[in-house]
Amino acid sequence: MIFTTSAMAEENSSFVDDSIRDISIIAGTGAAGAVLGLSTLSFVEEPSDHLKNIVVGGAIGIILGVGIVAYGQANKSKGLYENAALDLKDFSTGERKVWHMAKRKEVSRQLGVNQPSFTYSFKF
């Protein structure tokens, strides 16, 4: 979680800077995972039989790093969506209905259609 604060410190950085930061976060967590996997070798009798712990630790670290980067990117996008959100307090249900009816009439006028374009009838 040390990396998340540094990941959110710069809001207006360039794409290249963001990419380098993201890659360094992933590489750092991968290296940390590999070191943790390496540290498990001191607890087994035959360390050469358990060298895969280093690879597994590195893989888990990379997965964790990708999660941290994805979380940081999602929070950046969340701010953009919240800033662009509409204030719907002034747009009640009645006003929505009136708006939809006006748009429907406008489209009908533009298309020159007075009645629905789809009709059906039943004959027995």
Mean pLDDT over 92-107 rounds to 84
What pLDDT is attached to residue 19? 92
108: Cα separation from own chain's centroid? 39
Q: For residue 38, is pLDDT > 90? A: yes
Ordered by start, the domain boundaries in the chain are 2-85
Bigger pLDDT: 94 vs 104: 104
In sequence order, which residues have a C-beta less than 8 Å from that of residue 46 and are 6 or more positions away?
none
CA 112 to chain centre: 44
Average pLDDT over residues 103-115: 77
Q: What is the pLDDT of residues 44-72, one digit of tens each?
A: 999 889 999 999 999 999 999 999 999 99
Task: Report d(CA 26, CA 28) in Å as an integer.
Answer: 5
